[in-house]
Amino acid sequence: MKILADDLRFPEGPAFAPDGALWCVELKGGGLCRFDGTLARISTGGEPNGIAIAADGAVWFCDATGSVRAHRAGATRTIVEQGGKPNDLAFDACGNLVFSCPNDGRKEPTGFVCCRAPDGTVTRIADGLHFANGLAFTGDELVIAETYRQRLWRGRWDAQARSWHGRVWAEGLLGAPGPDGMAFAADGTLWVAVYGSGQLMAVDAAGRIVRRIDLPGRNPTNCAFDPSGRLGLVVTEAEKGLLLSFPELGLGQPLHVGPA
């Protein structure tokens, strides 16, 4: 494990841009961070959370105050105004943007997931979740974390119809509260940042937890693979404000990028 940066204010949502730069957010710092050996902070206001990168290098991010926004060339614009406090997001192969909305669903199943089509149309694709959280695509399937039930849902994603048919796939990702962001390794293993557990957990194709890695803080929030392989899996950890690198975990599955 390598510590890339520390003293971050609740880091979340790591993602790599086409130029190789690593981005993350400071949810409690109200801004984005760009890391390419040194850390640069960009103020956006609000409560930025998950990140996805568009083809033109724009950083699309959830703002937990109620929107999805995009930052590029020093300017930030709003993409979607949405209740439910957007949390994490991911592009599919057709340029659709899927984003989760926990909606304070800690005790009641009020969390949901939406899809924004390239034409701007927003459709709700899943609801009734106890804190909808991390998202990850693999092939034609989408995985969704239901944090306060300590489980993951997995099912077929129809990009044309913008519909998802999920089932409970993995359980027992125990934390206080549970699974947050996640990323697929090249071999199909899903690495999950389990908030409150102080661990990364690896889930195999059958939904079994097959490996655990202890972290220096209790609250990992999200993770992303470096496409170059140099940094391996990068993890954001909120308790101690860390940006971590695990080079030995190698490469991840290529991510889809959004429209320019």
Q: Structure tokens of 4?
A: 């890339």
Q: How confident is the model at residue 239 (pLDDT cuts 50, 70, 90)?
A: very high
pLDDT value of position 104: 87
CB–CB of 18/57 below 8 Å?
yes
Considering the domain boundaries, does residue 133 fall inside one? yes
What integer is the mean pLDDT of 126-150? 98
For residues 187 and 185, give the distance between their C-alpha atoms in angstroms, rounded to a whole number: 5
Residue 156 covered by a domain: yes
> Tell me, what's the pLDDT at 225?
98
- Tell me, yes or no, whether 158 lies in a domain: yes
Asked whether residue 161 is domain-assigned, the answer is yes
Contacts with 219 (C-beta within 8 Å, 6 or more apart), sequence order: 195, 196, 198, 237, 238, 239
Look up tokens 């206001």; give the residue: 45
Structure confidence at residue 259 (pLDDT):
83
Q: For 17-65, what is each residue's pLDDT tens digit?
A: 999 999 999 999 999 999 999 999 999 999 999 999 999 999 999 999 9
Q: What is the pLDDT of residue 192?
A: 98
Give the domain range for residue 165: 2-249
User: What are the beta bridge partners of residue 237?
Assistant: 220, 242
Residue 259 lies in a domain: no
Residues 91-134: tens digit of each pLDDT: 999 999 999 999 988 999 999 999 999 999 999 999 999 999 99
CATH number of 230's domain:
2.120.10.30
Residue 260 pLDDT exceeds 80: no
- The pair phi, psi for residue 176, each rounded to 5°, is -125, 75
Mean pLDDT taken over the chain: 96
pLDDT of res. 211 = 98
Instruction: Give the CA-trace dihedral at 171, 176, 181, 185, to 10 degrees.
Output: -50
Share of the chain above pLDDT 70, in %: 100
Number of folded domains in the chain?
1
Structural domain includes residue 218: yes
* Residue pLDDT, tens place only, 4-17: 999 999 999 999 99
- Residue 257 forms part of a structural domain: no
Q: What is the pLDDT of residue 57?
A: 92
Judge whether residue 84 has pLDDT over 90.
no
Is position 19 within any domain?
Answer: yes
